[in-house]
Each structure stands twice: as C-alpha cells, then as structure tokens.
Amino acid sequence: MRGDLEVADVFRRHGPAYRHDRAKPLGRVETRVMSAITLCRTAALGGHVEACGDCTHSRIAYNSCRNRHCPKCQGAARETWLAAREKDLLPTHYFHVVFTVPAEIAAMAFQNKAVVYAILFEAAAFALISTVVIVDR
C-alpha cells in the first residue's frame, strides 16, 4: 500500500527553501536527482494513454524518471534485488561492522588504494577474529 506522502512531495514543498538556505549549493548530481524525483510520473515528463482491450476504460499514465535514486522507479527493483540476496544468506545472525580511517590515511588511500585497503582489511580481520563475542539469543 502506498503512503500519502512521497519523497517527491517533500522535494516540491521544501526543496527550493532547502537549496536556498544551504551554505554550499548542491552539486550537479544532487540537483539532477532532486529534479528527476520531483518530475517523476508527472505531465512534465510526458505520458501515454493506457487502454483496456476488453472495455472502453482508459487512463493517462505519466512517464517515470527512471533515476536509480527514485523510490517510485526503483522500489520494485530494490525489493527484487533484496529477495535474491536473502537467498544467499546462511541461517545465522549477521552484524554490520564499519571500520574507518583518519582523514590523513584516507587521503593516502585515495592514491594507494590496493596497499592501504589491504592493510585495513588485514587489521579489521584481525580485530574481528581477536574479539569473539558470543551472543546468547
């Protein structure tokens, strides 16, 4: 069931003020995403007439933006992708762990990805293996 409020509604109502009040302007990519979501399935993107072959019922269907960030366009694709990934999961508990590096190391990593990330993954693996926590459920 679809909710009454959509991301596009929020962008239409608050987007201009949000963009105006920011200290730094949004980048080109962010501006295009907001615009695509705002215009998605509206007359601005054009449309077509869908007609029933068995009766005289017809309706106007507006075109979608097909932007990968749009919840209307990518919602079904996301659900399909998640269902496929869930089939790959083992029947156990999973934990999401994030390892970060200081900005100075991140700058080096940008220039030496293979070396720095190999060190990071080795250190992260060591930390995880060394810190075994048994969760009783």
Judge contact between 46 and 63, C-beta under 8 A.
yes
Residues 114 and 50 in one domain: no
Bridge partner residues of 55 (DSSP)? none
The encoded tokens of residue 35 equal 């615009």
Residues 68 and 104 in one domain: no
Contact residues for 70 (Cβ-Cβ < 8 A; gap 6+): 7, 33, 36, 37, 40, 64
Q: Does pLDDT of 136 surpass 80?
A: no
Residues 82 and 109 in one domain: no
Helices (H), 1-133: 7-21, 28-39, 71-86, 103-111, 113-130
Residues 117 and 82 in one domain: no
Q: How many residues does the chain have?
A: 137
What is the residue-averaged pLDDT of the chain? 88
Residues 114 and 62 in one domain: no
In a domain, residue 42? The reply is: yes
pLDDT at position 68, please? 87
The SS3 of residue 98 is coil
Residues 77 and 120 in one domain: no
pLDDT digits (tens, 9 = 90+) for 79-115: 888 899 999 998 888 888 888 888 888 888 889 999 9
pLDDT digits (tens, 9 = 90+) for 29-57: 999 999 999 999 999 999 999 999 888 89
Residues 77 and 118 in one domain: no
Residues 14 and 77 in one domain: yes
Domain count, the chain: 2
Q: Residues of the chain with pLDDT > 90: what percent?
A: 48
Q: What is the mean pLDDT of residues 12-23?
A: 92
Domain extent at residue 127? 95-132
